[in-house]
Structure 1
């Protein structure tokens, strides 16, 4: 019950902060978070508690859709055209996920800081062991495809940092 109250408080405080912050829209778009869709084409609300459970209990390479709301706790930097950041999504400091954003879908115009609020929708993958040429995530799981989809068979994702929407531009390939 305490975790649910803290999660609700975090969502409310983030929503209030986003309403009070000056909006810097990318491409003229409104910076309200887009709708996140699951695999069955149903609206997916924030599911931080479920994602924390997946990180702790699922086998390597388990995949699902996720919609998270949290706080940046570590910056892993830019690698191969992707920004990597660790986002705390639970009440415990170990309840984190690595969010990976493809900058081909729009550069992050402001510096990302530890403490920045993050909302993201994308594909969850448990990543606690190396697979092929991919290393294991330091957080044990990743959230990627947090951008517009160029494939009709794949749902869109998004990344919002401190009320600024990213990932809605046409890719710069």
Structure 2
């Protein structure tokens, strides 16, 4: 489950919309967010931040009720953690005991400056030696597969260009 549209761009490319990606957010083009009537691979419309955890929990509960066997993963950005719905989802998920994975995309990107205790905590985490060592390990490991590193870096930069002001 993606929290906001721009997090789903790689998903769109990997699920058959690569050729149409140049039409993203254009009239008659593909949507800038997951859209079920655009692809069977889009489970719900992710148009608002802070919703992914609650939606993932609902899907995990549906999985349990139907006896199905699949993983449910929620992707949420650090900017979305400023929304109350994210905390409601975390609280409910913790109480439910449903197996699910929550991935925090702590990229420091949001429309405005993040404020509050969680934003302060995440900012402090970004300068910790353990985080910096992991970041270096990632660069060294993925860097050995030069093509993969270039693709991932290219995607990261394009997503930044789409969501950050050009100034």
Report the TM-score when normalising by structure 2: 0.26
Report the TM-score when normalising by structure 1: 0.26
Q: Kindly indicate which of the two structures has a greater share of residues assigned to helix.
A: 2
Q: Kindly indicate which of the two structures has a greater share of residues assigned to strand.
A: 1
